[in-house]
């Protein structure tokens, strides 16, 4: 079983559309994250949830809205997609939000905005 | 802004040679983690260092945490084609959120 799974793996869409990426972890972890990796491979944290509560909300356009229905799921909804949103989006989870939390990443969702 | 700096950005290595990638922070880190991302893949956790001056080894990989807990290094000996990928360090300044370095992308010449 995949520990952190995200869908879809690939997403090609037009500017202005709205799209969602889903993430699920079966590790029993309390904390989940969304990271954005641009073409230069830089990993930038977007959001983090601990037990369904938002704990990290970086400077991200409010077109991006995370939702955590339970601690095993963290979804990302993006409104009015722009060209600059093209990137690979990684979901991750960790057992703890603090010092000891190694991250387990999903396989990524490659978003291409045309 | 980016709190954890990593150099070099690219490393082209002849198979069999050694190389080192470095990670530096302006503030003390509570711990440092290293991840590897293969081309087309996702970051995978390699190791975590917590103590000042700590050194850990995984086969041909040697990880070091500086005495001041502001820098770290990853040294790979006898590079193989399986070492291709991007290596990220990630540190927690002041127990705050994990901050990733920009990564060192390694290519290997056979």
- Inter-chain residue contact A98 with B86, CB threshold 8 Å: no
**Do the bridges between strand A64-70 and strand B4-7 make them parallel or antiparallel, or are there none, so unpaired?**
unpaired
**What is the model's pLDDT at position A98?**
60
**What is the model's pLDDT at position B92?**
83
Cβ-based neighbours of A100, under 8 Å, separated by 6 or more: B31, B48
* Substitution target from A56, A102, A104, A108 for chain B, most B beta carbons within 10 A: A102
Residues B42-64, mean pLDDT to the nearest whole number: 97
The distance of B62 to chain A (nearest Cα, Å) reads 19
Contact predicate B72/B91, CB 8 Å: yes
**What is the model's pLDDT at position A22?**
98
**What is the model's pLDDT at position B95?**
57
Q: Is A59 on the interface with B (CB under 8 A)?
A: no
Task: Give the closest residue to B6 by CA, choosing from B93, B94, B72.
Answer: B72
Tell me: pLDDT of B1 over 70.
no
**What is the model's pLDDT at position A76?**
97
Residues B44-69, mean pLDDT to the nearest whole number: 97
Q: Is A42 on the interface with B (CB under 8 A)?
A: yes
Q: Which residues of A touch B36 (CB under 8 A)?
A: none
Q: Which residues of B touch A44 (CB under 8 A)?
A: 100
Give the Cα separation of A26 and A100 in Å (integer).
19
Q: Which residues of B touch A2 (CB under 8 A)?
A: none
Give the model confidence (pLDDT) of B5-40 as tens digits: 999 999 999 999 999 999 999 899 989 999 999 999
Mean pLDDT of chain A: 92
Q: Which regions of chain A are under pLDDT 50?
A: none
Tell me: pLDDT of B96 over 70.
no
């Amino acid at each position: 079983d995949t520990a952190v799974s995200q869908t879809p793996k690939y997403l090609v869409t037009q500017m202005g559309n709205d799209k969602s990426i889903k993430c699920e972890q079966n590790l029993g972890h309390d904390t989940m994250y969304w990271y954005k990796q641009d073409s230069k491979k830089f990993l930038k944290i977007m959001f983090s949830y601990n037990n369904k509560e938002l704990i990290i909300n970086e400077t991200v356009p409010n077109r991006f809205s995370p939702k955590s229905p339970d601690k095993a799921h963290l979804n990302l909804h993006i409104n009015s997609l722009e060209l600059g949103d093209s990137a690979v989006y990684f979901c991750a989870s960790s057992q703890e939000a603090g010092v000891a939390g190694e991250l387990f990443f999903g396989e990524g969702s490659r978003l291409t905005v045309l | 802004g980016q709190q954890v700096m990593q150099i070099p950005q690219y490393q082209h290595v002849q198979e069999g040679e050694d190389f080192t990638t470095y990670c530096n922070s302006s503030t003390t880190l509570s711990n440092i983690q290293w991840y590897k991302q293969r081309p087309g893949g996702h970051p995978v956790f390699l190791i975590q260092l917590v103590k000042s001056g700590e050194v850990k080894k995984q086969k041909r990989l040697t990880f070091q945490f500086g005495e001041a807990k502001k820098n770290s290094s990853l040294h790979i000996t006898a590079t193989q084609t399986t070492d291709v990928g991007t290596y990220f360090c990630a540190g927690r300044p002041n127990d705050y959120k994990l901050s990733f370095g920009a990564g060192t992308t390694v290519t290997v010449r056979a």
